[in-house]
Amino acid sequence: MASIEWSSGRLRSVQDLTADIRLFEIERDGPFMPAAPGAHINVGVEIAGRPDTRSYSVVGADDDGLYRIAVKRVPQSRGGSAYMWSLAPGARMRVSAPRNHFPLSLGKGDYFLVAGGIGITPLYGMALALAETGARFRLAYAARTRADLAFADVLAARLGDRLSLHIAAEGERIDLAAEIDALPADAELYICGPLPMFEAARRHWQTRGRAPARFRFETFGSSGRYASEPFRVKIPRLGKDIVVPQNQSLLEALEDAGVEMISDCRRGECGLCTLPILETDGIVDHRDVFFSDRQKAAGGKICTCVSRVSGGEIVLDTPDRAG
């Protein structure tokens, strides 16, 4: 794992894109490092009086030396969005250099981009980059209402009929099965959206026998099937009995309790933070995209960075962790 290259920075300006999505323009001190489509920056935040880190996709071009991120204010969040929304222009910040776990491969045949809600942020820059190169692509963008759409006017002007909008409140859904069936065999799919959308797209992609390497994704890492609530986790091997608050991840609670955890993405994608489940009397709300549907149904492990327990406790093992 490469270490994060931190620097100080300043919040240049903010702009509300929707009622709960705000655009932040950030000027990072020191030499500027351009962000490729799909890249993100890490931002230092403060949650419940302690320093923490959040990752946000870089939105659009950065030719003027500014990083732009869009942050959705989430009432049930662990505090990162609330902190960001508390900042006023001029605020000093800790900002990392760009990193990219969701790179766009240019020069391929056809592309299908799928965005749900705030998942438009990495795909916005990808769509504009593909349009610049003259690539064959389409972007399907879903939101609850038209008022929830961010960047829709710019996208419509730049993409024309390569953009389709799908408004849930108007009974519109992306027909993922039909869209995937219509793609050429060598097409690539890029998706960022809530977990049910991701799982449906991956299921259709797999059942059609398409190459896994051509299915590219990034997740929110926080959208589960149940509302977040506090729960208790016990680790007999370490003699630990820990309460995980509603606004903290299981991984963070374990780290605070002195358990030596291993992690990287913290979005439920890499699987480094998984632990074996010994037993539970609650429902494991798997919010990761690391485990398959079969593995989740088996209930053998939990991805601690994003997944939670609803309506009960969980007992975990830590065979390779100290604490």
CA atoms within a 13 Å half-sphere pointing along the CA-CB vector of 198? 26
- The residue-averaged pLDDT of 219-238 equals 83
Task: List, for residues 233-262, the tens digit of each pLDDT value.
Answer: 999 999 999 999 987 889 989 999 999 999
C-alpha to C-alpha distance for 279 and 263, rounded to whole angstroms: 23
Decide if 212 contacts 189 (C-beta within 8 A).
Answer: no
CA atoms within a 13 Å half-sphere pointing along the CA-CB vector of 228? 19
Class of residue 68 by CB neighbours under 10 A (exposed 0-12, middle 13-18, buried 19+): buried
Task: List, for residues 268-298, the tens digit of each pLDDT value.
Answer: 888 999 999 999 999 999 988 889 888 999 9
Which domains, from first to last, does the chain contain?
Answer: 6-99 (2.40.30.10), 111-218 (3.40.50.80), 231-316 (3.10.20.30)
Task: List, for residues 177-203, the tens digit of each pLDDT value.
Answer: 999 999 999 999 999 998 889 989 999
Q: What is the pLDDT of residue 77?
A: 66
The model's pTM is: 0.82
- pLDDT over threshold 60, residue 222: no
